[in-house]
A and B are shown apart, each in its own frame.
Chain A
């Protein structure tokens, strides 16, 4: 059974940093692109970033470029998102998602909430 479990969220002040993690199990992690998708409270879904199987390609939505960094550790079946210089508008539930054929997201974690507030 595919499982994705996020962690690392919390309440932080503007300008702070966090490292979000996603523990994957039930599939060959190193064979899939992986993504982060976020959802602000009461709002829709927004793709944030994705990373190729070997980590050689990474892409980001414009609003987080230069502040967020995606990475993965295939030996530990884990995905990470380093989020720096956090802003109020980054407040959201951050979901880890498996990418199928680099086209769609076939499995999602339960999400981790990041709240940026002074």
Chain B
């Protein structure tokens, strides 16, 4: 099963900005399918963070934003806070597999 590629980890000081990339292919992100992002705090279930490329569910701070271009997408976190320490996953749909695909996951560390 193909996956979307993310950097294993990113780290930055409190108050700074981090971006997480998500690279796909012509059968998923590049085919026009939307990208969604999830936050998974330690020991908990994933939580929807961004949907349809750049939309935030109710209750998600506007410090989180998403974008998509070509076969890639990005998640940006501004004003980094200690509570943002978590694993982040992107997700899309793959037409060649007729199924959903997730990114490899990125661990965000607040220094």
Contacts and interface: CB of A to CB of B under 8 A. Distances in A.
Contact of B45 (A35, A61, A95): A95
A14 B93 CA distance: 31
B97 interface: yes
Interface residues of A, number: 23
Interface stretch (B20-28, B46-54, B73-81): B46-54
A22 to B, nearest CB: 12
B51 A95 contact: no
Interface of A: 35, 37, 44-47, 50, 59-63, 95, 100, 103-111
A103 B105 contact: no
Contact of A62 (B1, B57, B103, B105): B1
B45 A110 contact: yes
A50 to B, nearest CB: 8
Given A46-B1, A47-B99, A60-B99, 18 more contacts: A35-B100, A44-B102, A44-B105, A45-B102, A47-B102, A50-B100, A95-B45, A100-B51, A103-B93, A104-B34, A104-B36, A104-B91, A105-B38, A105-B48, A106-B57, A109-B45, A110-B44, A110-B45
**What DSSP secondary structure best describes chain A's contact surface?**
strand
Interface of B: 1, 3, 33-34, 36, 38, 44-48, 51-52, 57, 89, 91, 93, 97-105
B46 A103 contact: no
A108 B101 contact: no
Contact of A44 (B36, B45, B97, B103): B103
A59 B95 CA distance: 12
8 contacts: A44-B3, A46-B1, A47-B101, A59-B98, A62-B1, A95-B46, A104-B36, A105-B46
Contacts of B100: 35, 47, 50
Contact of A104 (B48, B98, B99): B48
A104 B102 contact: no
B52 A104 contact: yes
Nearest to A107: B48
Contacts of A47: 99-102
